[in-house]
Structure 1
Amino acid sequence: MGTNKILLNVKEGLARNYIEAIHERFGGTATPHSYQLHTDDLQVSIFTYDLRPNMELSITQGRTATPISMHRTPDKDLDLIHINIFKKGQIEHAYMRNKQYVEATTSTGAFIHNGRFALQGEIPANLFYSSITIKFTKEAFLDFMPEAADMYEEAFGHNQPMTYHMQLPIDLERLTDDILYYQDIEFGGRPMIIAKGLETLTSLIMTAQKMSSQNNLNGLHADDYQRLMLIKNQLMSSFNQKINIQTIADTYGISTSKLKRDFKTLFDCSIYQFYAHAKMDEAYRRLKTGDYSVMEVGYDLGYSNLSKFASMFKKVKGITPSEVNR
């Protein structure tokens, strides 16, 4: 397949849209509820299960030798909520050409959105990927759990593009582990997956309800994404400067509390943590080339005290700057 990225265009919607797009692009074996392809360069399997009318669960697993860039076009006529639970590996989501990793076992391990804006997802090469996705319409959701109507309206009732990132509690980790386990069980596997899928959805809704009551369920709409990406780009282009959260908040016309909350929601860390890690990533890249001395990199990244630079580098990277080229 070469070394370039593989482009895949998908219209957002039910799992069949993904199956049709992947089958058309790569071939393989497709049915209304499954897709499989196994070659030296690409292994993909997708299986879907009807939990209830207008509510489905799908399991996607695979590995690719070449990064796959997936462009998802929003389907504004289909009122679907998408819950993506990442079990292994990671996928890189991009909105307005800016990227954010969604990774298993982190606070961004579950990605919930209403599919109303275009997303680009990149699956890295040579990394096993496993995810469980639950999709449902508003009508199906309210029929399944009418007591959650207020929470649904609060989260998605305004019909704006919205996303939420959540870390799975331990009980949800176990439930989703069970779903993957029963996928390999021939006798009784399907009904157990359906049962565990409904239990997973119920538990996730209860977790979201608890977070909402504690003001910890923070969603991002299109304007939030755009603002955060501008802020991220500003941080990435000013490594030799000190950051001031109040100044950033004033520049973008939001409160510091909202800035901190939104940044944590999207990037799973504080602004200071993001900035420090990004600076050390840049330092590592420069040192790895062999074209820069430790002194040059430290001073260029705004450190007047090289011992502080070395200490931060060791804290983030686990080695000292001088050890990079050994």
Structure 2
Amino acid sequence: MSSEITRITFPMESPDLWFDQLAKEGVGEKIGEKFVLNSLFGLGELEYFIFQDGFWAQQMDFNLKKPLRLSILEQKSNHLFNINFYLSNSQVSHQVGEKIFEFNFDSVSVILISSSAASFLEFPANDQIKLFQVGFTKEWLMDNVFGERSPELKSYFSKEEPIYFSEGMDFKFKYLIEELDIKTSSRLQLFSGCLQLLNHFFEKLELRDLKASKPTNVHPDDFDRLKKLQGKLDMDPLEDISVEEMADLVTMSLSKFKRLFNQVFGVTPHKYLFKNKMEVARQMLSEKKYSISETGYLIGYSNLSQFSKAFKGEFGVLPSEI
């Protein structure tokens, strides 16, 4: 059965060098900023766009004739980082060290990985695979993302040890990613969207305990249950669910649930629900599909002044200023 799997090994590289590697493997043909799969391997293409020196986006959309295993070699330094957004319903396996992530659009589907981390990606055959990637160098990251805002994050990403973080595809990620397509989006739209994706990702990291990608004093089973719950909350941010119901879903006592949720995600369950709903409200208002009062009602506020006060407390502006 192993002979039926296509295997490719390579170090993490910028997209142009990655395309060169694929061409040497006989997978397809590099045409400028595109890579087209040959018909023996599958159907589809990859395409990248470089915004600035050290900052790019890449989009992959393909259907394979045989399963593919990509082995990404460990390097000595963290000179490159990729954030992958898995946009297919097909199951994609991504192993980093001893940890195996099972990705699809409806669960944990965002991962950041550094160039010093060895990892393995497995793509199934006969399924449409779509992946959007934002890549950047360490130099670009330090100059453009952290600044004075996040000294802890800046220090953490300065190290050369393997770095990886996973996230669920929450409402804001989905909203932003659905607006991006290298084939059809303007350069300005792509650039702005990718910056917003990065900002949201690092805002979520700021809430975490960076000493470990998985808290050392949280049992792995408890952690996995909490991550599944997070996926459920992010999939339907307007669902009416109580903290007690959440605790029941992860089979924990209420006190244990509150403590571990805060420890893993950096906020209380109530605050997590609140922030998700406020993000939905901001997107609704920006799309101009609903009035302010309608938006407030849809996210659970019957009183317009209370909604306006909560919204300003979260974003620093009134709903009318969006």
TM-score interval (norm. to shorter): 0.5 to 0.7
Aligned identity (percent) is: 11
Corresponding residue to 1:219 among 202, 213, 223: 213
Q: Deviations over 1:172-208 (max 9, x none)?
A: 211111112xx333xx633322222222222222233
Among candidates 193, 196, 200, match of residue 199 of structure 1? 196
Q: TM-score, normalised by structure 1?
A: 0.61
> Cα gap change, 1:101/1:152 in structure 2, threshold over 3 Å: closer, same or farther?
same
In 2, the alpha carbon distance for the partners of 1:206 and 1:200 equals 10
Alpha-carbon spacing, 1:32–1:200, altered in 2? closer, same or farther (3 Å):
same
1:154 CA displacement:
5.4
**Which residue number corresponds to residue 60 of structure 1?**
60
CA positional deviation for 1:159? 2.5
Asked if 1:167 corresponds to 2:164, the answer is no
Distance 1:114 1:216, change over 3 A: closer
2:96–2:118 contact (8 Å) kept in structure 1? yes
Q: What does residue 143 of structure 2 align with?
A: 143
* 1:198 maps to amino acid: L
Report Cα offsets for 1:20-43 as digits up to 9, x if no partner.
222222353314522112526502
Contact 1:72 1:120 in 2 (8 A): yes
**Is contact 1:218-1:262 (8 Å) kept?**
no
Work out the CA distance in 1 between the residues paired with 2:69 and 2:171: 31
* Alignment-derived partner of residue 228 in structure 1: none
Q: Which amino acid aligns with 2:117?
A: F
| Residue 119 (structure 1) shift | 1.0
The separation in 1 between residues aligned to 2:47 and 2:120, in whole angstroms, is 22
Equivalence for 1:233 = none
- The answer as to whether partners of 1:50 and 1:194 remain within 8 angstroms in 2 is no
Q: Normalised by the size of structure 2, how large is the TM-score?
A: 0.61
Match of residue 74 from structure 1: 74
Q: Which residue of 1 aligns with 2:180?
A: 179
| 1:188-232 deviation per Cα after TM superposition (whole angstroms, max 9, x unaligned) | 6333222222222222222332x33xx599615xxx9xxxxxxxx
* SS, match of residue 134 in structure 2: strand
- Structure-1 residue corresponding to 2:186: 189
1:9 matched to which residue of 2? 9
Aligned to 2:48: 48
Deviations 1:127-157 (A, max 9, x none): 1111111111222112212144424235433
| Partner SS state of residue 219, structure 1 | coil
The equivalent residue for 1:307 is none
Residues 97, 147 of structure 1: alpha-carbon distance in 2 compared, 3 angstrom cutoff = closer
Q: Supply the distance in 2 between the matched residues of 1:5 and 1:218 (Cα, whole angstroms).
A: 33
Q: How does 1:98-109 map to 2 (within 5 A)?
A: 99-106=100-107, 108-109=108-109
Tell me the amino acid that sits aligned with residue 197 of structure 2. T
Cα distance in 2 for partners of 1:29, 1:47 equals 12
CA distance in 1, matches of 2:170, 2:100: 25
Q: Distance in 2 between matches of 1:217 and 1:191?
A: 36
Report if aligned partners of 2:93, 2:101 keep a CA contact under 8 Å in 1: yes
| 1:192 counterpart letter in structure 2 | Q
Distance 1:57 1:168, change over 3 A: same
How far apart in 1 are the matches of 2:204 and 2:99? Answer: 29
Instruction: Tell me: CA distance 1:216–1:139, structure 2 relative to 1, closer, same or farther (3 Å).
Output: closer
Q: Report the CA distance shift for 1:4/1:99 in structure 2 as closer, same or farther (over 3 A).
A: farther
1:219 maps to a residue whose letter is: S
Unmatched 5+ stretches in structure 2: 231-248, 251-322
How far is 1:122 from its partner? 0.7
Question: Does the residue aligned with 2:4 lie in a helix, a strand or coil?
Answer: coil
Task: Name the amino acid aligned to 1:189.
Answer: S
Distance 1:98 1:191, change over 3 A: closer
User: What corresponds to 2:24 in structure 1?
Assistant: 24
Alignment of 1:73-152 (within 5 A): 73-77=73-77, 79-88=79-88, 89-95=90-96, 99-106=100-107, 108-145=108-145, 146-152=147-153
Say how many residue pairs are matched: 229
Conserved in 1, the CA contact under 8 Å of 2:60 and 2:131?
yes
Contact 2:51 2:191 in 1 (8 A): yes
